[in-house]
Chains A and B, each alone.
Chain A
Amino acid sequence: GQQLNQSPQSMFIQEGEDVSMNCTSSSIFNTWLWYKQDPGEGPVLLIALYKAGELTSNGRLTAQFGITRKDSFLNISASIPSDVGIYFCAGLLIYNQGGKLIFGQGTELSVKP
């Protein structure tokens, strides 16, 4: 199946630091999404990107949809302990009359107070 390459796999940072993670693909996507997953729970949508080049913010989070439509990044500024979790990028694949999300492998974020 199609895959998204997400990096880094894990990050250990100090509270207050900025964080950056990214996803690349060999395929073109029309929509990029970023999710956060807390331990033992389902992913929750953070940011959705619908246009190439689009830059969108949600509080301390900023994400961009790459111009080539094959990549996206997520930045978190001034990290806090509750930012801990796994962050996933996802590309929406549209086909015929349906659609499905393809996920990256995830970036596990640890924040040291």
Chain B
Amino acid sequence: DGGITQSPKYLFRKEGQNVTLSCEQNLNHDAMYWYRQDPGQGLRLIYYSQIVNDFQKGDIAEGYSVSREKKESFPLTVTSAQKNPTAFYLCASSIERGYGYTFGSGTRLTVV
């Protein structure tokens, strides 16, 4: 079955360490997105990519980095520069022009 997979489901890291969240899709979607979710704030866009080897900053890109070397994969690195990294992170993919948005099941990152 086609879908979008995020791993791991739960991630714990010490403050000051970089951490990379995985997102893989086999839907043959061109576009991929990363959102951050905090209680009461909805979903905020971190980075997005419309095609391989190209990506743009979203509304809250500071302290994050991404790569898009393959169509299927869009990993997100939370760097030590991110001041408040503890959150629920959601990856999504879509066909052209944002239609057919599909979400992964999320990764909950806790930094201690």
Residues on A with beta carbons closer than 8 Å to the beta carbon of B50 = 97-98
Nearest chain-B residue to A108 (Cβ)?
B40
Which A residues are CB-close (under 8 A) to B31? 98-99
B binding-site residues for A, Cβ under 8 Å: 6, 31, 33, 35, 40-45, 48, 50, 58-59, 88, 90, 92, 94, 96-99, 101, 103-106, 108
Contact call A98/B103, Cβ cutoff below 8 A: no
Identity of the chain B residue whose Cβ is nearest the Cβ of A45 in the assembled complex: B101
Counting chain A CB atoms within 10 Å of each CB, the highest count among B43, B48, B96 belongs to B43
Instruction: Please tell me if the beta carbons of A105 and B42 are within 8 angstroms of each other in the complex.
Output: yes
Instruction: Classify chain A's interface size.
Output: 20 to 34
Question: Given A43-B103, A45-B101, A100-B33 in contact, is the A88-B90 Cβ separation under 8 Å?
Answer: no
B45 adjacent to A98 (CB under 8 Å): no
CB-based contact B98/A93 at 8 Å? yes
Q: Which residue of A lies closest to B104 (CB)?
A: A42
The A interface, classified by DSSP as helix, strand, loop or mixed, is: strand
Q: How far is the CA of A90 from the CA of B44 in the complex (A)?
A: 11
CB-contacts of A83-113 with B (<8 A)? 88, 90, 92-94, 97-106
A8 to B81, CA, bound (A): 34
Interface centre among A88, A98, A105 (most CB of B within 10 A): A98
Contacts of B58 in A (CB 8 A): 1, 100
Cα distance, A104 to B43, chains bound together (Å): 8
The contact of B101 among A1, A9, A101, A106, by CB within 8 Å, is A101
* B98 engages A41 (CB within 8 Å): no
What are 16 inter-chain pairs, A to B, with CB distance below 8 A? A1-B45, A33-B101, A40-B105, A40-B106, A42-B92, A42-B104, A90-B101, A92-B98, A97-B97, A99-B94, A99-B99, A100-B33, A100-B58, A101-B92, A103-B43, A106-B42
